[in-house]
């Protein structure tokens, strides 16, 4: 791993942008894409994509999509004491929410918050320690509802985790928030830099959708706008490797995730053969992955007349929390895999994916 990659990972993961409020991520991506593509376009919901036109006649269109958004919360109401009640935006385990730092983004400014918890000394019934998100209050230190409102706090304001991304002792592992899915954002930006002076056999539409974490919403608009012939999602999935089971799905350090099935999509035989051939020809480590959750490929592959789609993923431990752990070698395998796909994806490949 070079220092440039480390700094890009740190910058993308520390950006704050939950579903529906991806402004910081979008602005960063637009700045980084400038000069790397032929044009930059947005869809009606705020997805951002750089288009790199192929000079090959009758070139197909390949869409490479990350998603900008991370999980967080939204203000639902303010108590008389100035404490904030919230709604979860995206999936959260309530047991990881308490006693964490957040930022609330208001019209007047951004302010720190701490999620509440009850010290063991004050627990009335120590046998009953169950918790739900609607029982957790967010505390900005305000003395009253009126004071919170003076600072601009209103229902609908987004609340985002605050975390510094760090390297762990072995320098192979990182810890930080939002690798789901700033992994994809990082990969897209690094790939476009790598391809800056290269001609491609397909027109590449590379960028990131919005609102993936709340129902795969953004990709529906972007796919209809750009009309790709094939679709690749680059997304992060939960690792399940803590007990050392070599058969578990999602093992850190074993390569990129070749997703073969999730509740919304089955990888086609034709696409699987193409991806495996590409990985093995280029000696790129990969692992099969079966998921209980979906990605933007779920929405994309059923749009228009049906779009050949796949997911090139990476695993991370403890996703949808403040601290996910992920490996740089898995990221590098995914980045190389996507590079090789983009370099070889032409009309003949597209036709092989549609031989029914």
- DSSP code for 79: -
Cα→Cα distances 175→193, 197, 212, 224, 294, Å? 25, 33, 22, 36, 23
Looking at the structure, tell me whether residues 62 and 81 fall in a common domain: no
Helices within 129-268 (DSSP H only) = 145-150, 179-194, 218-226
**pLDDT (tens digit, 9 = 90+) per residue, 145-178?**
999 999 999 999 999 999 999 999 999 999 999 9
* Owning domain of residue 147: 72-161
- Model confidence at 251, pLDDT cuts 50, 70, 90, reads very high
Give the pLDDT score at 123: 57
Looking at the structure, tell me whether residues 34 and 54 fall in a common domain: yes
Looking at the structure, tell me whether residues 321 and 299 fall in a common domain: yes
* pLDDT surpassing 90 at residue 124: no
Looking at the structure, tell me whether residues 246 and 227 fall in a common domain: yes
Asked whether residue 329 is assigned to any structural domain, the reply reads: yes
Give the pLDDT score at 118: 73
Give the pLDDT score at 127: 62
Give the pLDDT score at 355: 84
Looking at the structure, tell me whether residues 84 and 45 fall in a common domain: no
Task: Tell me the pTM.
Answer: 0.95
Looking at the structure, tell me whether residues 249 and 202 fall in a common domain: yes
Cα–Cα distance, 189 to 307 (Å, whole number)? 24
* pLDDT surpassing 70 at residue 121: no
State whether residue 203 is helix, strand or coil. strand
- Model confidence at 246, pLDDT cuts 50, 70, 90, reads confident
The total domain count for the chain is 2
Looking at the structure, tell me whether residues 86 and 58 fall in a common domain: no
Asked whether residue 223 is assigned to any structural domain, the reply reads: yes
Looking at the structure, tell me whether residues 86 and 221 fall in a common domain: no
Q: Element (H or E) spanning 3, and its range? A: helix 3-14
Give the active site residues: 212
**pLDDT (tens digit, 9 = 90+) per residue, 311-341?**
999 999 999 999 999 999 999 999 999 999 9
User: The CATH number of the domain where 91 resides is what?
Assistant: 2.40.30.40
Q: Strand pairing partners for 112? A: 103
Looking at the structure, tell me whether residues 154 and 99 fall in a common domain: yes
Looking at the structure, tell me whether residues 154 and 250 fall in a common domain: no
Give the pLDDT score at 335: 98
Cα–Cα distance, 209 to 187 (Å, whole number)? 14
């Amino acid at each position: 791993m070079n220092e440039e990659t480390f700094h890009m990972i740190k910058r993308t993961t520390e950006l704050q942008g939950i579903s529906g409020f991806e402004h910081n991520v979008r602005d960063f991506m637009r700045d980084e894409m400038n000069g790397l593509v032929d044009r930059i376009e947005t869809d009606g919901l705020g997805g951002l994509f750089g288009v790199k036109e192929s000079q090959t006649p009758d070139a197909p269109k390949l869409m490479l999509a990350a998603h900008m958004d991370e999980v967080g919360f939204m203000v639902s109401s303010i108590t008389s004491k100035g404490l904030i009640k919230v709604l979860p935006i995206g999936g959260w385990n309530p047991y990881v929410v308490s006693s964490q730092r957040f930022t609330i983004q208001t019209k007047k400014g951004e302010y720190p918050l701490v999620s509440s918890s009850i010290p063991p000394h004050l627990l009335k019934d120590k046998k009953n320690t169950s918790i739900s998100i609607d029982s957790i209050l967010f505390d900005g230190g305000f003395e009253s509802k009126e004071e919170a409102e003076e600072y601009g706090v209103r229902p609908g304001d987004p609340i985002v985790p605050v975390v510094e991304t760090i390297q762990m002792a072995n320098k192979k592992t990182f810890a930080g928030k939002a690798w789901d899915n700033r992994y994809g954002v990082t990969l897209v930006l690094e790939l476009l830099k790598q391809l800056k002076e290269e001609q491609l056999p397909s027109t590449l539409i590379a960028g990131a959708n919005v609102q993936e974490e709340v129902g795969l919403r953004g990709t529906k608009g972007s796919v209809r706008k750009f009309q790709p012939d094939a679709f690749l999602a680059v997304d992060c999935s939960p690792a399940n490797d803590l007990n050392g089971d070599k058969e578990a799905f999602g093992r850190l350090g074993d390569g990129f995730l070749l997703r073969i099935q999730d509740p919304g999509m089955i990888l086609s035989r034709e696409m699987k053969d193409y991806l495996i051939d590409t990985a093995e020809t280029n000696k790129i480590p990969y692992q099969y992955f079966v998921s209980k959750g979906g990605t933007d490929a779920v929405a994309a592959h059923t749009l228009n007349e049906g779009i050949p789609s796949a997911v090139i993923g990476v695993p991370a431990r403890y996703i949808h929390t403040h601290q996910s752990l992920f490996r740089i070698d898995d990221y590098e395998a995914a980045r190389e895999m996507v590079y090789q796909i983009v370099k070889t994806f032409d009309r003949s490949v597209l036709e092989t994916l549609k031989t029914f």
